[in-house]
Chains A and B, each alone.
Chain A
């Protein structure tokens, strides 16, 4: 499939207007292109202007200056009615409607196309069935919204956006408040939808790890810094992520391409061994402020014995002081021999 540039953003300033019509800029000089067939994730801390950007791009909110072009036509030149056929949204607003069935909610996505009473044609119905199938919600179609989990609800809202048949779908933090499997499921679903339907899917999220593993493209929006755009890997190579979270207790691990928490270390200890146990011991000790490494020279040292049952042997100046079989006990020993 040919990659198609759907959104072109030039020198955009976003923000709010005060009562006296003077602008209060949240972010300026935003430049970028959003492509069809790609899942693009917007990352950034709270207050960086992610929601404001999404609202501005959806036409919910007037922009301060600059240009937004959708398929070569300015956003402002579309009427609200037309926009409902170009942009579908999934918002953070929670739909608390009692006795609204999944099918009824998804069918409302067809309302830009249906007539005065909202009667569904057979074409509408087959589009709704397809969307329910794609999101895996076909078996839920007669359930009421109030009986769904947060993850299922989110899939229903995505199905609603799908039946709108728009080239663009914007999602504001679709993975917030979900459990980890649901987060992964939603992200993979959106990635697959972007691939299969050629739609532009653009979402804001705080789930960095997931975004870096699943997104085709990242928009990195930091307070103060310029907006960075690229594939997760390109941004890693240019070291943008490590700058992004400087001093926040998080660092970007260039080996794994993922984020990890920085633990402050107060002690050092020698550890020898290898394998999964070795990695886990170092991780557990690091969390407890102890830097463990084979290169460290210390009186206290830890050996990993793998004959039969796994044993962690603690030496003090070559004298065995303790043998333990799990990490919890090992940590207790380390605390006692401080």
Chain B
């Protein structure tokens, strides 16, 4: 009887969690669309969403081309980075691992640095002046950089035995990337460096409606794909030897997990810049609330939690008064850090009781 109660409790907990995060996310999504530096009447926002038009063309444009894409970008980025972070933490059995631990966002930064910092030198005009074409070039450069590092890491992962070695190799790749970026910065024009620094602060506002047509489907497919690794991730937690004894092909799974987390991170970084903290914090939060290590529950859990936190950060970054310009990375860390500490402190209390 007790047995049934506990199973019921853990199932109830996950459904309650998914339901509540869904509800909260919907509320936050609405707030993201309603609030902003320009005041748009509530009924007009409703008309824009339902009919696609309103009394003023400008209002329609703000909602449809700025606020809504930003909110959707935040949701996709939050979900992707959180899943990537969870996968990396499980693979490396390291609570400090995040989606960028294998140097993937460093790779993206390097790609972007080449484009932003060298263009001024080579063509004489800073690429940041090119507007839309410049944005596309930056996105492509970031993606190419991130995927190059991802393949370097996969190449090594087939050749080294221990996960710890692989982790160190990833960190070293990150350092090497940062060093090259440093050199490029040293020889670059000041305005290019500024453009690069701003890219590095992350933003949910850079995905245009036309880019969304690529970003959204790619992210959704990658997120669904990542769910398929749930059973393998559960086994991986036990350690490589136990997992192998239970019939898991460690080498194959390791590459699949790296590819999944790496691809999610690379895509998000390409479209939003290197967004930090969410990928590290959300898995901890979700585990703390769900009190489970079962990835069949954790994976959907971090997706919802990632969406929720990213929407919250996007909202705060655009609150009236901030004039829509706060960098995402400052907000993710400022909002996320206290929440994580709170959850951890609560956990400590229950252990001591």
Contact = CB atoms under 8 A, between A and B. Distances in A.
B287 A99 contact: yes
A151 interface: no
Interface residues of A, number: 31
Contacts of A81: 247
Interface string B222-242: 000000101100110111011
Contact of A97 (B238, B244, B245, B246): B238
Interface in A38-95: 58, 60, 80-81, 83-85, 87-89, 91, 93, 95
A31 interface: no
B65 interface: no
Interface stretch (A22-30, A111-119, A196-204, A317-325): A111-119
A108 interface: yes
Contacts of A87: 245
A100 B247 contact: no
Given A97-B293, A108-B235, A117-B296, A164 B246 contact: yes
Contact of B247 (A58, A84, A97): A84
A200 B3 CA distance: 33
B231 A109 contact: no
Contacts of A141: 3
Contact of B296 (A100, A105, A109, A118): A118
A272 B237 CA distance: 63
A93 B239 contact: yes
A97 B231 contact: no
Chain A interface main SS type:
loop
A98 B245 contact: no
B231 A116 contact: yes
A89 B231 contact: no
Contacts of A99: 287, 291-293
B246 A112 contact: yes
A22 B93 CA distance: 33
Contacts of B248: 111
Interface in B53-81: none
B238 A95 contact: yes
Interface residues of B, number: 25
A96 interface: yes
Contacts of A142: 3, 6
B209 interface: no
B135 interface: no
A111 to B, nearest CB: 5
Contacts of A97: 237-238, 293
A130 interface: no
A84 B3 CA distance: 29
B241 A89 contact: yes
Contacts of B294: 104
Nearest to B9: A142
Contacts of A164: 246
A96 B93 contact: yes
B246 A109 contact: yes
Contact of A117 (B231, B238, B239, B242): B231
B245 A84 contact: yes
A60 B239 CA distance: 13
Interface in B90-142: 93
Interface string B170-211: 000000000000000000000000000000000000000000
Given A95-B238, A97-B237, A111 B246 contact: yes
Nearest to A87: B245
Contacts of A116: 228, 231
Contacts of A96: 93
B247 A111 contact: yes
Contacts of B296: 117-118
B37 to A, nearest CB: 43
Contacts of B237: 95, 97, 100
A81 B248 CA distance: 7
22 contacts: A58-B245, A85-B247, A88-B245, A89-B242, A95-B239, A96-B93, A97-B238, A97-B293, A98-B287, A99-B291, A99-B293, A100-B237, A105-B238, A108-B246, A111-B231, A111-B246, A111-B248, A116-B228, A117-B231, A118-B234, A141-B3, A164-B246
Interface of B: 3, 6, 93, 228, 230-231, 234-235, 237-239, 241-242, 244-249, 287, 291-294, 296
Top 5 A-B pairs ranked by shortest CB distance?
A: A84-B247, A118-B231, A112-B247, A100-B293, A93-B239
Given A100-B237, A111-B235, 20 more contacts: A58-B245, A60-B241, A83-B247, A89-B241, A89-B242, A89-B245, A93-B242, A95-B239, A96-B93, A97-B237, A99-B287, A100-B293, A104-B294, A108-B238, A109-B246, A112-B247, A114-B231, A117-B231, A142-B3, A142-B6
